[in-house]
Amino acid sequence: MRISVIGTGYLGATHAACLAEHGHFVVGVDTDKEKVTALSEGRLPFFEPGLEELLQTHLASGRLRFATDMVDAADADVHFLCVGTPQRPDSMAADVTFLESAIEQLAPLLERPCLVVGKSTVPVGTAQRLGERLARLSPAGRAVRLAWNPEFLREGFAVQDTLHPDRLVFGVSDSDSEATLRSVYSTQTAWGVPVIVTSIPTAELAKASANAFLATKISFINAVAELCDATGANVLDLEEVLGHDSRIGRRFLHAGLGFGGGCLPKDIRSLIARAGELGVGHAFAFLSEVDVVNMRRRQRVVDLSRQLVGESFIGRNVAVLGAAFKPDSDDVRDSPALNVAGQIQLQGAHVTVFDPKAIDNARRLFPTLSYAGSTLEACDGADLVLHLTEWPEFRALDPGELAQVTRRQLVLDARNCLDQQRWREAGWLYRGLGQP
């Protein structure tokens, strides 16, 4: 099929390359000329394992190309909208102006029947408004159909999640739209990937609801960790106990510094805001506390760090291992690690940060912090080592080797995934979160 992908950020670039992998002819359109140039040359403007190789393969195969002019998308049979919907600066609500702008640019070019598919995470009810605008602005009128097909990508696993999703959601209002989407995803459906066909409003709610549930699970175990700190209980053992319950499960039930990134925080706030607009805000009041618990984790790590170095950061050297909000990503949006590093620096410490992939993005966001090219360089002369992003190379560190360069052997494992026995045997004072 001939497919266009409007917006070639993290979601759009991944979706475009994976559609080409499944045999479609795809054009990715974006207004950012530098991004389009990089993608056209086979270079990713961000880090995602496996995606650059896929990009280069299908640029060479001729099934994938990129452009800055929306006219290049006009003759496609299906148009996927993959533009960003960030949190508005003046409220908790999502900003859908980029999506509206994409519709206004695309619609006048649609002169024959086709399908426009939203993948962006939006407040429920957005699609109805966009559909009306699409029909009004398009020369083909109502022959241009709108559907919603939410994404459920995990950064660091985006290629796998797109090529082999655990479910596909088709929000449609007619059988032709469903049939078109089944054709787009024929490879996945042939493999037996479950397809859930639902109304468009239900599909709009799918991603935000999933993220709100995951955020709630994370904040719950982090609240339990606070109780463990107050009582001497061990949250790691409780995670094991709860995780064996099939009704609860082990995934996302891991206490630590909390969540960040461009999705979970934004999506729960957007859901709270939209529920309030629809008069059912009371039903989602608990999500506000989920957000509060999550943000409090950052302050908890700052407070523990200050205690470990003697109640004052002045004159202390602090090494921060991790800048990305999660491993296998260079995304520093709402990064808990950088938030903690910034707070500690403001309280007088000299903070040096190292991350395997996110240094450049971190430096642009927090230029006043110091940055190192390796773990050993970041920890040179450190009074305290903070483990804030759980990269595999940090978990594999040799604490004995690291002790040769630090001033003091103090480590705060804010992700609760270092081998504490190994670190303690190497002479370190190890401190986790919710652990005695």
- Catalytic (active-site) positions: 263
- d(CA 68, CA 318) in angstroms, rounded, equals 44
Residue 251, amino acid: R
Q: Which residue has tokens 């280069």?
A: 56
Q: Is 101 helix (H, G, I), strand (E, B) or coil?
A: helix
- Nearest to residue 165, comparing CAs of 26, 53, 14? 14
Instruction: Look up residue 120 and give its DSSP letter.
Output: S
Beta bridge partners of 170: 197
- d(CA 40, CA 14) in angstroms, rounded, equals 14
Tokens of residue 126, six digits: 């957005």
* DSSP E strand boundaries for 315-382: 317-321, 350-354, 370-371
Cα-to-chain-centroid distance, residue 436: 31
- d(CA 16, CA 36) in angstroms, rounded, equals 13
Residue 332, amino acid: V
Q: Which residue has tokens 């599909």?
A: 203
Tokens of residue 27, six digits: 């054009």
Contacts of residue 408, defined as CB under 8 A and 6 or more positions apart, other chains included, come to 382, 383, 384
Reported for 343-347, long-range contacts at CB under 8 A and 24+ positions apart, including other chains, are 343/298, 343/299, 343/302, 344/302, 344/305, 344/306, 344/313, 344/318, 344/320, 345/369, 347/302, 347/306, 347/313, 347/314
- Nearest to residue 204, comparing CAs of 137, 278, 297, 260? 278
169 neighbors 203 (Cβ within 8 angstroms) = yes
Residue 106, amino acid: L
Half-sphere exposure of residue 123: CA atoms within 13 angstroms, side-chain side: 23
The total number of residues shown for the chain amounts to: 436
